[in-house]
Structures are given as C-alpha cells and as structure tokens.
Structure 1
Amino acid sequence: MKFRPLHDRVVVKRVDAEATSKGGIIIPDNAKEKPSQGEIVAVGPGGRDEAGRLTEIDLKVGDRVLFGKWSGTEVRIDGQDLLIMKESDIMGVLEVSESKKKAA
C-alpha cells in the first residue's frame, strides 16, 4: 500500500535510539524514551497561503529530522509504525557531516 499525505503533512519513521549510553551502560527497553528523531518517508504537496497559492514544503524524503515528544499521530501502515505530522511540528533537519559520511 502506498500512502500520500495531504497539504503540509509529512510521514515520519522513528529512528531507534542507541541501546547503550556514551559511558557504555546498557539501557533496558523499559527505560528508553520514544525517540524524537526520524526519517521522512513521504511529503505532501504543501499548504496554501491567504491568497490561495501553494507553498511548498522545505522537507524531502530521506531527511533526518527532530520533532517534539508528543508530535504527530501514530499510525500503522503495512506493519510499520509511522507518524503523520504537520511540517510545523518538525523542529529541524539533522545534517550529517562529511567526516561521518566517510566513516560509514
């Protein structure tokens, strides 16, 4: 099934948090918080301004983003847990530095 969000909405897949802390301590599943990072899976066409003109969304599929803890609506599509949220609920896009790209 393919899902296309409407207006200024985006579909986000949560990115799992690290299982260990920076100090090497293993964090159990019941102590982990829901991650507030995700990857954009689908993007709507954009919203409309007062004049009725389409304003495009600044996000694109594949962007890694930060969003609020309680942002969006959780849905399950084809066995995947996804979030549908407005573009305004997203706080920013995470940029991967060149050094990390080369290391990966």
Structure 2
Amino acid sequence: MIIFMISLIMMILASLISKKTFMDREKSSPFECGFDPKSPTRLPFSLQFFLIAIIFLIFDVEITLLVPLILTMKTVNFLSFLKITYFFLVVLLIGLYHEWNQGALNWAH
C-alpha cells in the first residue's frame, strides 16, 4: 500500500511539474526552408495493407491456439481430440473462405 501511494504521489507530481506543450498551427506544420510544402507531408495509408496485416494477426493467433491441441493429444480421448481439431480447422477455413469471398485477399481492385 505504501509503494502504491508513493508511486501515485510521484506520478501526480511529475504531471504537475512537467513542461506543458501547446499545439500551435505553425509549429505543428512541416518546415521546408521557410516555404509552404510542395506535396502532402503524410503518405496515404494503404487500407489493403492494413487489412492483410489484421488477417495475418488473426490467423497467427489461431495457429498459436492449435499448438496446445498437439500437446494435449496424449492426455485426451482421441475421438474428442479429433472432433475439437476438426471443428477448429473448419472455423479457420470458413474464415479464410469469407475473407477470400469478400475480396480482402486480392491486391488489385
């Protein structure tokens, strides 16, 4: 409890003492030798890349969920192991089919 109180006091003091920054339009705009920028400063974000990255993360997590199934194969009834594994793989394949059907896996639209 004492450690919690000390850390809380330190955080409050740090936020009170810290230098405050105010966002100014001129300071937050890009600087190119005193001239206005010729092109946009930020590149457009590729939504297709973001979608592929999210799909990769989802399927990567699902693959990591498959690893414990392999480790529990010896301790569980083989028939129930097959049912669980089959169900899990069917869900994966349905998700993959849905993404493919929606056109999320096509790079050129």
TM category, shorter: under 0.3
Which has more radius of gyration?
2
Higher strand share: 1
TM-score (norm 1): 0.19
Task: Name the structure, 1 or 2, with higher relative contact order (CA <8 Å, separation 6+).
Answer: 1
